[in-house]
Chains A and B, each alone.
Chain A
Amino acid sequence: MALPPPPSLPSTLRDPKSLFFQQDGIRRAIIASYWALIILALPLWWYTTSIERLSLPSTRIQQLAHNHLELPIKICLETREGTLVEQVKSQLLAGKSQDPLRWKGLAPEVIGSADCGKYAESGAYIVKFKSGTPMSINDRELHIPSSSEYTSALANTLTSLIAPYSASSDPDNRVVQYSPHYRLAFSLLNEDAAAGDAVLGWNIQAAIRKYINPITQRLSALHNFTVESQVQFHAPLAFLPRQLDDVYGIEPADLTVFVNSAEWTLSSSSSNDPVLHFILFIPSSQRRPLRILLNDGKSRDSTAFLLPQWGGIVIHNPPTPTDAALPSQALHIVFSSFANQLSSLLGIPVLPNNIDQHSDAGVSDWQLDALTRRRTLENAEGSRDTLLSIVKLVNQIENMPVGPDVRDDVEGALSAFHTMSESASSSLAQAFAYSAQSFVLASRAFFSPGMLALLYFPAEHTYAVYSPLFASALIPLLVAALREYLAWKRERKEKLEREREKRE
């Protein structure tokens, strides 16, 4: 300092100690009020920065893990022979213990009665023994000749009708996963219409009415279908077919890359529903006939193939000269294939070879019931798994928010699941409807956009974010409080000493 300090303060300046806000009490009150504000604001800060995590019914969901759905199947044999009933019963049970996967969730129950008609209303399957007729099915009835060779094979027939889905029946996971809505996209693709002899149109509306609608209407309880169709005039292949003597062949390896997804536009992307594609491919007139080759290079009879879970393809070699529109006979062949492919993609089981079908309904009650049971069990399992994983993820990822919409969907899925378990014994259709509802709600809860977890935010990031914000404000406050505390302690000590001196 340039000037020496004055011995005492001039009268124009006031002693800092005399300033009213420097009085001990007021100064301490000011510091304390800062601290009070901070402490009062803490709950607000906590509330605004914490993530909304509503509690889920976890214990009830954990209980689902042990809740395995059993769908009862009542079979009534119209006979008075008690031994036959026992025989069929024990054979079915033996089959169930041999292949538990095939019978998972199915509980067959065999009864014998002279008049099975009274069980028909409750959805029971009735086996009638009639001499002189071939084995056939009608509604939920199985008519079987009463000779001994048939009755001994009865258990096997019943197995293939009731539990048709074994490990060998769907080796490639051909059947699409359940969805309440599907889109069916039918495409007529000309490899190169400019080469001449192209098929320029098809009577798609009539064909769909005749071949596809019977299936979709029969399955209307399970799925909703939207149908779209298109005709394309230039749809090149991504590979060159092999030229044989008089035919062109597609190698087995090329079949997997037959669909030229880079250049074919196969469906509109107007919705998020799964699409099943059906393609009628007309080879260019310069490459006809086009056939599918076997591994040894010989051509196959079949010109239709199926891509698991994706759709079906039929190659049609029209005769020259070609009609501009597909003739009805060709349409019949093509759409019979499409109908076949559609049923196998949707998982409609194939009837055993030796069974005749009475009605022209297409899909029999036996098949529809088997499919409904399969979908019910799938949905129940899917719903249970989804609910369990929601609970698991919410526990595991601490930053994952759980909003009211998620909680409501989870509750809804859970109650639908319980209703399904209750109605399983009375009505299959109802059990299916509730299983689908439960699955859809559980999936919606899982995919709720609000459930996106906050990003990984470790402790050191917390320091890094908060210290520039709070350290500059908190450290002076902390130090001020510390100094006041020390000053207060010193004062008290001096005061005590003074008092002691006074007493002495």
Chain B
Amino acid sequence: MSNLSFMQDAFMCQMAAAEPWPEDASLFRPPEGGQILIGENALSLGVEVYLRMCECSFKVVTCTNAEFMAPSGKLPVLLCGKFVISEPTPVINFMKQKGISLSKDLPESEQRDLKAYIEMINNILIPAELFVTWAHEETLTQITSVRYGSPYPWPLNKILCWRKKQEMLTYLEAVGWGKDQRSLATVQEELKRCCQALAQKLANKKFFFGQKPTELDALVFGHLYTLLTTKLPDNRMAETVQSFQNLVSFCKNIEKQYFGHKT
């Protein structure tokens, strides 16, 4: 899904490296509990935790048109000095160019594994969240359409929701997760397999790759925390994640360590 990473690399490589991290970096996302959807929340939270793990100063700005501000049309959006970057992978790569990375001390084989596990999240968790949001009728009518159209007046809220639904269904079809290709039960199975692999990788360590957190920890936290804490009409996703105790305690630890007293 990192469709702009190449262009942004080409654009910003030398320029980004030269400037230090600015004081007024901002992370833009739609309002939590209101407009934001599961998938978007997962990615935004992942990036937020990553920035906190890297101890970079930033502030979170909520705005209703974050999706349209993004160069690639996907959330979250990071404004860093003069640069605007969207989506987690380009943000991580951008920070790497500034010399900020959590995985640079890992041995090469583990760095490769890290890449593979991040792709696994992109390959399974992201489409699963999009499926639940847009291809599952109950969730679509009860949660998604209410949330997505909430900042707009009638009839714009209905039109935009319908348009986004068509776009998302086409996207899901293209990646093989369309309405006719999967059902909520098969999605749940895939999610279980993914969580099994993650739980296996984590075992009883504090973080996936030892004592220090990496990008994988941030992104996994973003996804699992969102799945655990978002109330949906059909709670199979949350139940699946909950059945893996070490993943649940992993989320609780990170929340305590990086978000303090938040529940």
Note whether A and B form a binding pair. Answer: no
